[in-house]
Amino acid sequence: MGIEHVVLNILHQPMPNNSALEEILVVASGCTDRTEDVVRGLSCQNGKVKLIAEKSKKGKASAINLILHEATGDILVFTDADVFPASGSFLELIKPFKDNDVGAVGGRPLPLDDGNTFWGFVAHLIWTRMQNELLTSEVRRGVFFQLSGYLCAIRHNLIDKIPSTTIAEDKFMGEVIRQKGYKVLYAPQAIVYLHGPRSLRDFLLQRERVLTGHLQVKRWFGLREISTSTPYKTVPALVRSLNFLRPKELLWAGLAATLECCANLLARYNLTTGKLPYNWRTIPTTKLRKTDHVGVP
């Protein structure tokens, strides 16, 4: 779908009263395509669009730190170039900040994949069913901190910088803000569309990275659990999400659980050996396509 559509989407997002979109900072790290040229063109059309170019790819934590340093707004909204916020998502994400005790708000990823295919089923199992339930449960218990890197917002003055080796930058920022005594909220109406991985390689790459990030954050903060990757939380959520009258669904869920276990083992190996994937490898099948109908302006 491309960076142009994402930027145009943000420019057309409705905002709450007494709030305004001040700028859109696009970090392009070691780009070999036309991203920088496209962003420069958009900047000529609208001065709110600004390009931050890195000569080499240094990882998402580096990009986050550049934004934290350069941004001027009180509330920072983070999203990725390969996802697409639904219309009104910024409104839902920013509204809670009228409460001065709110330090961060996380949006809700929603897959566009066909749930009748195996990989589409897995994507909806993770994001539509299990993760939404687990995060909602965290909110009820008052322990939520799991911002989504696909779409989240923070108070700018609460974080100056994050470690350059941070993998799960969203979880890291959420926990830092929570430990400072601010509320971290989940806004399920702040939807961001995405694609789940659609190959074995891409699934293991993505889940290995996510789970390594979870283990890293647990170690850094001494956390007992992160619900979306803790078996005694995820297994009951998995069971509740299944239709036991559909044998194919049970088979697919069993296969997905096996692959998740493999990814978990890879993540633990990464943490033990220090081979941290903070400089992410590209996962091609998760990119949005021109055929995706998500309300492109």
Give the C-alpha separation, 158 to 137, whole Å.
Answer: 25
Q: CA nearest 182: which of 271, 111, 123, 100?
A: 100
pLDDT for residue 297 is more than 50: no
**Percent of the chain whose predicted confidence (pLDDT) is above 90:** 81
Tens of pLDDT along 161-204?
999 999 999 999 999 999 999 999 999 999 999 999 999 999 99
274: left (phi > 0), else alpha (psi -120 to 50), else beta?
left
Q: CA geometry: angle at 171 spanning 165 and 175, to 5°?
A: 105
Tens of pLDDT along 132-154?
999 999 999 989 999 999 999 99
The pLDDT confidence band at residue 280, using thresholds 50, 70 and 90, is confident
Question: Tell me, what amino acid is at 275?
Answer: K
pLDDT for residue 220 is more than 90: yes
pLDDT for residue 5 is more than 80: yes
pLDDT for residue 296 is more than 50: no
- What is the domain partition of the chain in residue ranges? 75-286
CB 71 within 8 A of CB 25: yes
Tens of pLDDT along 27-66?
988 887 888 999 999 999 999 999 999 888 888 999 999 9
Tens of pLDDT along 228-255?
999 999 999 999 999 899 999 999 999 9
Three-state secondary structure string covering 276-292:
CCCCCCCCHHHCCCCCC
pLDDT at 1: 62
Mean pLDDT of 209-220: 96
pLDDT at 294: 57
Mean pLDDT of the chain: 92
pLDDT for residue 295 is more than 70: no
Mean pLDDT of 88-106: 96
Give the C-alpha separation, 62 to 55, whole Å.
Answer: 12
Sequence-separated (6 or more) residues with CB below 8 Å from residue 235 = none
pLDDT at 293: 55
**Percent of the chain whose predicted confidence (pLDDT) is above 70:** 96
Give the C-alpha separation, 158 to 148, whole Å.
Answer: 17
pLDDT for residue 291 is more than 70: no
pLDDT at 208: 95
Question: Tell me, what amino acid is at 66?
Answer: L
Q: CA nearest 156: which of 22, 62, 29?
A: 22
The pLDDT confidence band at residue 2, using thresholds 50, 70 and 90, is confident
What CATH code is assigned to 75-286?
3.90.550
The pLDDT confidence band at residue 276, using thresholds 50, 70 and 90, is confident
What pTM did the predictor assign?
A: 0.92
Give the C-alpha separation, 170 to 146, whole Å.
Answer: 7
